[in-house]
Structure 1
Amino acid sequence: MEKIVGQSILDSLETQFAAFEKRLNGQSKSAVHAVRKEAFNILMGTGFPGPKNEAYKYTNFTRAIEKNFELKDANADFSLNETQVNGTQIADLDAHKIVFLNGHYSSELSDKIEVEGLKIESLEAELKANSELAQKNFGSKANFTDDAFVALNTAFSQHGVTIEIADKAVIEKPIVLYFIGDSSNAKLSYHIRNIVVAGKFSKATIIEKFDTIGAHKSFTTSVNEVSVDESAHLRFFKIENDTTEAYHISNIHVNQEANSNFKAFTFSLNGAMIRNNLNVKLQAEGIETYMNGLYLLDGKTHVDNHTIADHMMPNCYSNELYKGIMDDSSKGVFNGKIFVRADAQKTNAFQSNKNILLSDSATVNTKPQLEIWADDVSCSHGCTTGQLDMDALFYLQARGIQKDKARAILLKAFASDVLETVENKAIKEYLTTIIKKRLEI
């Protein structure tokens, strides 16, 4: 019998899941927990992805977890002070703020949100109430049979938020989710599940940000299951600027309905190992989807972006732009897939991945993919990897600009295509400040 990959992790999880079920009391008989149990059983039967798994070929998260973590429940004790917590937040951002400490919702630090057309609840409260929202959406989009880490999150997650945006509601201020971890005394691991439902003709912006404070390693997973109803407009930001000891797996699964507009922004700026899965289904006509990503890496940071734009119906548009700058011994991975199903005539789908390597030891593995089963479409994809344009660098130096300054100017110009897609001024300034500092402008 072939050995299951990650068996040592599974042995530990089996004991933890039994203890987890005992703590649930009446919830153990709920519809949501039935989904949890199914996910856990599949995980125990299939194990974690090994080095031969194509989807994780360049990102061996299983080995990283085996080496560094026991995946115990996060300790609810939180020792960070107010100054440390405030330091994780985006300056000058006027937003509805939701704060989690070590994975647990903090009512004291979160805003009391009373906005017409907006309902935000902790996932824990929704699960305890066995609400219709939780039953309908938990596990409905993030397929745990396809990915062991989605199964892990599905089996163990009980914290996060549910966000309901009513039909025709326009939420002027962004909704920002701060997940703050304290690894100052021990290693940290926890799992987050968010459910987002944007009603017909609604408009909103959501920001998800993970931060860990402390010298010990951390491992977090987040799964977002997002419904974008007819003619709704939703912006979703993922900002990753954690410590060099942070390991994070993100899954954003989105279903779009007719004439809806969804824009995703993924900024990966620091961490030990990061995996971002973004999966969007365009399942009606007239949909627009935008995927924008920037990864600015140095040291030994490893970032892997996997994206899917699944065109299922006619007359839809998707545009994807990911750019990467790799320095030192950092590593980038990009795998972007566009599917155009047989019914998806008149599809317009475009994908571009561009990378700059600043050192001989930095690497990137990029694999754009396009699968088309329709005949009346306009699609393109491509990738480039190289170094800075030496002619442009020489041109700037010839005009009296020092080499380091000229180099930084060119790199900022390279990243600006993605930054310019950010509409919110405070978010753009926050990201620009980090990038300028990193590029030493």
Structure 2
Amino acid sequence: MTQTATKISNYEADYQAIREQRAASNPAWLTQLGDQAWTRFTELGFPTARRGNERWKYTNVAPIANASFGLSSDLVAGSDHESELRRAAPWDDEWINLVFLDGRFSKVLSNLNASDSGNGRILVNNLAEAINSGAANLEQLLAKHVKFQEDGFAALNTAFLGDGAFVQVPDGSVLQSPVNLIYLTSTSNQPTVCYPRTLVAVGKGAQATVIESYVGIKSGALNPEYFTNAVTEISLAEGAILDHYRVVSEAKQAFHVGTSRISQGHDSVFSSASFAIGATLARNDFEVLLDGPGASCNLNGLYLTADAQHMDNLISIDHAQPHTSSQLNYKGILDGKSRAVFGGQVLVRKDAQKVSAHQSDKNLLLSSQAEVDSKPSLLIYADDVQCGHGATAGHVDKDSLFYLRSRGLDADTASRMLVHAFAREVIETVKVEPLKQFLDELFLEAIPETGLKLGGAA
């Protein structure tokens, strides 16, 4: 048996078992979709061969491919984690809160705030229930934007697709409360994997706010590795407005691969901010298709790494139509021997005139052993455009540090203030006040844990 076959066989028994378990209740189209995705995964495998593969050139997924991750078999009582959940994830009782524990919807931990989630034809539900109830348009929406034929991780997620979140906002509707989706992994005594799936469809002229959070908490005596393989699909119809936030706060022994695909129609507005802390290896594969004239997106990101963590952000924006605009702004804070990768690709197609596209990647290195590979790129095939990109990597500014110390602050306090100020630019883009406060505290608390070394000293 080849090494590749061995890696795939680790998942085959689980797939066959879950397929048999769901066969009686799943609609035929979903079973067929799962079979197609599984077959494609067996053909693609994991992207462990990085030579000539630009998408994975700087990230080695062999630790994921070589591990034996299994589905969680223990049904942990949701109430056991309620207090930990409120500390580890963003939460507000006024929001629509859907919580998934080890890949399964937890009614005990969730708060659907039915007065809003059930408003008119607005649908906010867990995906398994939406499938069982035959929710309209689900077959047409699911796996429409994520091309699992081209991506082994997306294929694996689609093959195991069983639960997740489904948010559907019909034409002209306004979802007043943020939808807060929390995917919680309770690390047990065995290496486990879960496959969160998020599907969001915002109709013509509709508005919504969606928060995705991925959180790990300890529930067993041991602290083994676990793997979160998440897929998110978002579609915005003509004139739709969506504020989207993504928070990755996994346990330090976790592996996280997130695949997000967004499609925007005419005059739609998509604003997104991604925040990442934790996980030994994390990948944020984020693609936006501006598929209607006048569509615009604003993508922000902030991450903090320490020790030997690896963070990979691959952000792609496709200007397929004229009069579209994009802003991409990512920031990284790196300490220890951590490494980060930023790949920002903006494509402007031949007939996409009158396009505005700008991207920026700024990194703050707190250690001489931290490393970042930044590759912003522009692929422009139109001639009437305004495009630009830039990338920087540097250390804590000594002049600013000297100024703060001259005002009576000790070195540690002064340096943490400067690092916090660097992060605040992205945190301030958050429009939801309780979430902004949560993120500010999350990153502020993490800064001292980086073992800050001034001026890039080892």
TM-score range, shorter chain: over 0.9
Residues 1:267 and 2:284 aligned together: no
Aligned to 1:65: 64
Pairwise CA distance, 1:395: 2.4
Q: Is the 8 A contact 1:212 1:218 kept in 2?
A: no
Matches within 5 A, 1:254-403: 254-403=262-411
Aligned to 1:109: 109
What is the DSSP-based 3-state SS (H/G/I as helix, E as strand, rest coil) of the residue aligned with 2:401?
A: helix
One-letter amino acid of the counterpart of residue 322, structure 2: P
Higher alpha-carbon deviation: 386-395 or 264-273: 386-395
Aligned pair in 2 of structure 1 residues 76, 120: CA closer, same or farther (>3 Å)? farther
One-letter amino acid of the counterpart of residue 97, structure 2: K
Q: Is the 8 A contact 1:21 1:28 kept in 2?
A: no
Q: Is the 8 A contact 1:123 1:159 kept in 2?
A: yes
Q: Is the 8 A contact 1:27 1:127 kept in 2?
A: no
What is the DSSP-based 3-state SS (H/G/I as helix, E as strand, rest coil) of the residue aligned with 2:24?
A: helix
Q: What is the rounded CA distance, in whole Å, between the counterparts of 1:6 and 1:389 in structure 2?
A: 47
What is the DSSP-based 3-state SS (H/G/I as helix, E as strand, rest coil) of the residue aligned with 1:344?
A: coil
Higher alpha-carbon deviation: 113-122 or 273-282: 113-122
Question: Which one of the candidate residues 156, 165, 168 is aligned to 2:160?
Answer: 156
Aligned pair in 2 of structure 1 residues 174, 54: CA closer, same or farther (>3 Å)? same
Aligned pair in 2 of structure 1 residues 393, 253: CA closer, same or farther (>3 Å)? same
Residues 1:167 and 2:171 aligned together: yes
Aligned pair in 2 of structure 1 residues 208, 5: CA closer, same or farther (>3 Å)? farther
One-letter amino acid of the counterpart of residue 424, structure 1: V
Q: What is the rounded CA distance, in whole Å, between the counterparts of 1:93 and 1:285 in structure 2?
A: 38
Aligned pair in 2 of structure 1 residues 85, 411: CA closer, same or farther (>3 Å)? closer
Q: What is the rounded CA distance, in whole Å, between the counterparts of 2:2 and 2:271 in structure 1?
A: 38
What is the DSSP-based 3-state SS (H/G/I as helix, E as strand, rest coil) of the residue aligned with 1:167?
A: coil
Aligned pair in 2 of structure 1 residues 346, 70: CA closer, same or farther (>3 Å)? same
Higher alpha-carbon deviation: 30-39 or 238-247: 30-39
Offset from partner CA, 1:90-113 (integer Å, 9 cap, x none)? 255631111111111112222242
Aligned pair in 2 of structure 1 residues 108, 93: CA closer, same or farther (>3 Å)? closer
Pairwise CA distance, 1:27: 5.3
Aligned to 1:21: 19
Offset from partner CA, 1:344-366 (integer Å, 9 cap, x none)? 10000000001111112111111
Question: Which one of the candidate residues 200, 212, 224 is aligned to 1:208?
Answer: 212
Q: What is the rounded CA distance, in whole Å, between the counterparts of 2:16 and 2:81 in structure 1?
A: 34
Q: Percent of pairs identical after alignment? A: 32
Pairwise CA distance, 1:4: 7.1
One-letter amino acid of the counterpart of residue 330, structure 1: S
Pairwise CA distance, 1:331: 1.4
Q: What is the rounded CA distance, in whole Å, between the counterparts of 1:102 and 1:335 in structure 2?
A: 30
Question: Which one of the candidate residues 238, 241, 260 is aligned to 1:233?
Answer: 241
Higher alpha-carbon deviation: 159-168 or 31-40: 31-40
Residues 1:36 and 2:34 aligned together: yes
Aligned to 2:96: 96
Q: Is the 8 A contact 2:23 2:31 kept in 1?
A: no
Q: Is the 8 A contact 2:300 2:330 kept in 1?
A: yes
One-letter amino acid of the counterpart of residue 270, structure 1: G
Pairwise CA distance, 1:216: 2.2
Aligned pair in 2 of structure 1 residues 195, 273: CA closer, same or farther (>3 Å)? same
Question: Which one of the candidate residues 107, 112, 120 is aligned to 2:124?
Answer: 120
What is the DSSP-based 3-state SS (H/G/I as helix, E as strand, rest coil) of the residue aligned with 2:258?
A: strand
Higher alpha-carbon deviation: 330-339 or 33-42: 33-42
One-letter amino acid of the counterpart of residue 393, structure 2: T
Q: What is the rounded CA distance, in whole Å, between the counterparts of 2:315 and 2:391 in structure 1?
A: 14
Q: What is the rounded CA distance, in whole Å, between the counterparts of 1:4 and 1:285 in structure 2?
A: 49
Matches within 5 A, 1:178-257: 178-214=182-218, 215-257=223-265
Matches within 5 A, 1:69-88: 69-78=67-76, 80-88=80-88
Q: Is the 8 A contact 2:100 2:183 kept in 1?
A: yes
Aligned to 2:453: none
Pairwise CA distance, 1:66: 3.5
Aligned to 1:430: 438
Q: In the comparison of the two structures, how many residue pairs are matched?
A: 437
Q: Is the 8 A contact 1:303 1:331 kept in 2?
A: yes
One-letter amino acid of the counterpart of residue 64, structure 2: I
Pairwise CA distance, 1:43: 1.5
What is the DSSP-based 3-state SS (H/G/I as helix, E as strand, rest coil) of the residue aligned with 1:145?
A: helix
Offset from partner CA, 1:351-393 (integer Å, 9 cap, x none)? 0001111112111111111101101000001111121222222
Higher alpha-carbon deviation: 242-251 or 316-325: 242-251
Aligned to 1:147: 151
Q: What is the rounded CA distance, in whole Å, between the counterparts of 1:5 and 1:169 in structure 2?
A: 51
Q: Is the 8 A contact 2:70 2:191 kept in 1?
A: no
Residues 1:134 and 2:138 aligned together: yes
One-letter amino acid of the counterpart of residue 33, structure 1: T
Aligned pair in 2 of structure 1 residues 294, 93: CA closer, same or farther (>3 Å)? farther
Pairwise CA distance, 1:8: 1.8
Gaps of 5+ in 2: 450-458
What is the DSSP-based 3-state SS (H/G/I as helix, E as strand, rest coil) of the residue aligned with 2:137?
A: helix
One-letter amino acid of the counterpart of residue 13, structure 1: Y
Q: What is the rounded CA distance, in whole Å, between the counterparts of 2:244 and 2:361 in structure 1?
A: 20
Aligned pair in 2 of structure 1 residues 306, 244: CA closer, same or farther (>3 Å)? same
Pairwise CA distance, 1:18: 2.2
Q: Is the 8 A contact 1:32 1:134 kept in 2?
A: no
RMSD: 1.9
One-letter amino acid of the counterpart of residue 310, structure 2: H
Q: What is the rounded CA distance, in whole Å, between the counterparts of 1:348 and 1:162 in structure 2?
A: 32
Offset from partner CA, 1:62-83 (integer Å, 9 cap, x none)? x11244x323222242153432
Q: Is the 8 A contact 1:4 1:46 kept in 2?
A: no
Gaps of 5+ in 1: none
Q: What is the rounded CA distance, in whole Å, between the counterparts of 1:20 and 1:431 in structure 2?
A: 36
Q: Is the 8 A contact 1:195 1:225 kept in 2?
A: yes
